[in-house]
Structure 1
Amino acid sequence: MTEDQLLGPRAHGGACGSAVLKAVAEDFQVDEVLDIPLSGAGEHLWLWVEKRNLNTEEAARRLARAAGVPVRNISYAGLKDRQALTRQWFSLHLPGKADPALARAEDETLKILQSSRHQRKLQRGAHSANGFTLRLTELQAEHAQLDARLERIKIDGVPNYFGLQRFGYEGGNVHGAREYADREELPVQRNLRSRLLSAGRSYLFNRVLAERVAAGSWNQAQVGDLLAFTDSRSFFPAGEAECSDPRLAVLDLHPTGPLWGAGESPAAGVVQALEMQAAATEPSIAKWLAEAGMKHERRILRLPIGGLSWHYPEPDILQLEFVLPTGCFATAVVRELVSLAGQTDI
């Protein structure tokens, strides 16, 4: 499957040029933002870990081996990219145990930067945001055009597409979801089941968002929409009054799209019709998600970019810094700027 099939049209016009992302790990840096004060005491050891070209699950396994505990005793807030330089929190459940010697978990791919005790374990999704520092190299684009596009993105945000990495190489996870859906089966392996269900939901969401981008309504509330604040999982219906809420203009409040599950879309009117039409293009996946016990949830269609700044360390390098809500993809920002030369799975 192509990028356009998995995502959808750009909102701010064609790519300004081309560039390379992730030539080295340092070109894609992610810092987890966690607003939890640690007490310094308790049976959970929290670790601030820097990882280079190492995925979160492998880091958890290495910490478990070094600490001499089962991997189920290791918790983290979210998964981070493998091909990147990332800093994130882990917690180790160590009831009645002293701090273990963890030096053997460390090498050039994993460094423990800080540690502290706390009464509770780190919960999935506990972080409030992710901070990004990206370096686009081999840049072939006019700086003035990029600057104008970035100024527009700072004001309007970008479509909140799920990134290509959610779908696997050439959309392999979507193909897998279709195969299981057509057989009306679920994978036995837990990790595979989770990955394919997630890919199916993400693909249907992207189809809805693509239609809204094409219609120019991805960043505009319509009667029948379900609205949500940037950092909230709850939503409420939009009537005429809600469509004029001033918080929409300042990117605090947004229209949402479906994370598919049981039942019809809870949206109304033309919005519900569009969402049901998108589900009808993949009827077996929509039915499969519902029968798998997935509940209908919502995701904001518009992605606000916090603290966006940029500069050019060299004429052919663009460095970006910004903050995104959890579960959102930095590549959604990059895609509105440039095409990534020769890179199809980032």
Structure 2
Amino acid sequence: MTTNDNPIDSTQAATIVMQTLARLPYAANGLPGIGGTIKETPDDFMVEEVLPYAACGEGEHVYITFRRSGWNTADAARRMQHCLNLAPSDVGWGGRKDKTAVVVQTLSFRCGVKAQLSDVQQALSDLPFEILAINRHRNKIKTGHVAANRFTIIVSQPDADALSKALAIAEQLKQTGIPNFYGPQRFGHNMQNIPRAFALLAKGKKARKDAFMVSVVQSALFNIWLQKRMDAGDFHRLLAGDIVKKTDTGGMFSVEDLAAESLRFDDGAIVYTGPIFGFKMKSATQTAGERETALLDEFGLTAEDFRPLRAPGSRREAILNLTDLTITEAPQGVRFSFTLPAGAYATTVLREFIRPDD
């Protein structure tokens, strides 16, 4: 990998990354976890996708909201596409959802303005999906067109006194928030995607374009950046030069007046963001910027290394604040219900309670 005075090769980088990701810290320190498992059955993990807009009732795209279990998003979309005699490019979705879960999701199909909605529903009637709504819209659903996801998850076979332990952890997380780590599913079984992704990055201009593998590198570096910030004791405070995001409008700016912006941070008006490295990413400055640069240096990287892979980069909110978290007793364990913004992982929330590393 490239331009550092002490470069490391992709194999070394991948090894360091995997070792680091295996020991990410917890926000709710000092409290016992509840143990247990998730996804013992698909019914134990329910997720409902929330789009940022409703179908308007006209247009060539048909929005189909359906409930499924035992199917991933791509396979379900493919079956529906074949039933409707459409091309793959005619199908759109906002994000991929788990196979081992009960999922409510909306997909778009370019059926044309003359297609009857009743005929569309009839064409899908033999599939093992429950059609919940069909409507028209002018635009295709594209990746990222998701506002939030609502989860209801049962942790099965937890430790004794799990409910009271979970409530104590939740109370602490109200004060600290939850680190917005990428979940382990991003990195593959036994983190098998990590070596592949860093090998791809090392090839530079000779690399085959693979957006997902590039995102694996970006996600891993974000997790390490956040882990280092937590280890330094700076998880619940701003740093000079942080890039922060307004929680009401989504506007972003750099922290120059640390004292004033720290008050807004404490009030929940802003949240700091972390680096999704790329050649066009807006970098932090001052103290926060020095840490981002140091992380790239550690792996012998620069922002320009992402240019051949066409990865512009972005910023990601570093802290999740669950405003609607409810925890109740279930016959087989403990039930958690909460809503997450698009791109956040339910497994990241639940690890704070289950403590799998323990």
After TM superposition, the score normalised by the length of structure 1 is: 0.88
SS in 1 for 2:159: strand
1:5 is aligned to 2:21: yes
The answer (yes or no) to whether the contact 1:51–1:86 under 8 Å persists in 2 is yes
Q: CA deviation at 1:234?
A: 4.6
> What amino acid sits opposite 1:338 in the alignment?
I
What residue is the counterpart of 1:87 in the other structure? Answer: 104
1:49 alignment counterpart: 66
- Are 2:128 and 1:112 equivalent residues in the alignment? no
For 1:153-177, what per-residue CA distance to the aligned partner results, in whole angstroms no more than 9, with x for missing partners? 2343200000000111111111101
Q: Please say if residues 154 and 330 of structure 2, whose CA atoms lie closer than 8 Å, have aligned partners that are also in contact.
A: no
* 2:189 equivalent to 1:169: yes
Of 140, 155, 160, the match for 1:136: 155
Report the secondary structure of 1:64's partner residue. Answer: helix
1:8 offset after TM fit, Å? 1.8
Structure 2 equivalent of residue 159 of structure 1: 179
The equivalent position to 1:219 in structure 2, one of 236, 239, 255, is 236
Q: After superposition, what is the alpha-carbon deviation per residue over 1:271-312, rounded to whole angstroms, capped at 9, x for unaligned?
A: 111111212232259654243222231111111113111101
**Matched position secondary structure for 2:329:** strand
Change (3 A) 1:238 1:320: same
| Pairing 1:1-346 to 2, within 5 Å after superposition | 5=21, 8-13=24-29, 16-99=33-116, 100-102=119-121, 105=124, 109-142=128-161, 143-184=163-204, 188=208, 193-230=210-247, 234-241=251-258, 243-244=260-261, 246-262=263-279, 266-283=283-300, 288-314=305-331, 317-340=333-356
Q: Secondary structure at the match of 1:72?
A: helix
Change (3 A) 1:286 1:4: same
Aligned mates of 2:95, 2:114 — CA distance in 1 = 26
Task: Tell me the distance in 2 between the aligned counterparts of 1:179 and 1:202.
Answer: 15
Unaligned 5+ segments in structure 2 are 1-14
The 10-residue stretch of structure 1 (117-126 or 48-57) with the greater mean CA deviation from structure 2: 117-126
CA shift, 1:108, in A, is: 7.4
- Which amino acid letter does the alignment assign opposite residue 133 of structure 2? Q
Indicate if the aligned counterparts of 2:45 and 2:152 stay in contact, CA closer than 8 A: yes
CA distance in 1, matches of 2:324, 2:225: 28
Q: Give 1:224 shift.
A: 1.0
Question: CA separation of 1:270/1:284 partners in 2, compared to 1, >3 Å: closer, same or farther?
Answer: closer
Deviation at 1:258, TM superposition (A): 0.3
1:6/1:203 contact within 8 Å kept: no
Question: Cα 1:334–1:279, aligned 2, differ >3 Å: closer, same or farther?
Answer: same
CA shift in 2, pair 1:265/1:67, >3 Å: closer
Which residue in the other structure is 2:7 paired with?
none
Give the distance between the partners of 1:157 and 1:281, measured in 2 at CA. Answer: 28
Following TM superposition, by how much is the alpha carbon of 1:74 offset from its aligned partner in structure 2, in angstroms? 0.7
For the residues of structure 2 that align with 1:37 and 1:264, how far apart are their CA atoms?
31
**Partner Cα separation in structure 1 for residue 338 and residue 151 of structure 2:** 5
User: Alpha-carbon deviations, 1:31-79, whole Å to 9, x = none?
Assistant: 1112423232221111001121211111111111010000110111111
Shift of 1:313: 1.8
Note the aligned Cα RMSD (angstroms).
2.6
1:308 and 1:122, CA in 2 relative to 1: closer, same or farther beyond 3 A? Answer: same
Q: 1:272 to 1:182 in 2, by over 3 A?
A: same
In 1, the alpha carbon distance for the partners of 2:320 and 2:220 equals 17
Q: Which moved more, 1:202-211 or 1:15-24?
A: 15-24
Offset of residue 81 of structure 1: 1.5
SS at match of 2:201: helix
- How far residue 245 of structure 1 moved from its aligned partner, in angstroms, is 5.1
Unaligned runs of 5+ in 1: none
Q: Is the 8 A contact 1:50 1:85 kept in 2?
A: yes
Single out whichever of 59-68 and 141-150 deviates more from structure 2.
141-150
Higher strand fraction (1 or 2): 1
Provide the rounded CA distance (Å) in 1 between the counterparts of 2:37 and 2:186.
20
Greater mean alpha carbon deviation, residues 146-155 or residues 98-107: 98-107
Distance (Å, rounded) in 2 between the aligned partners of 1:58 and 1:228: 36
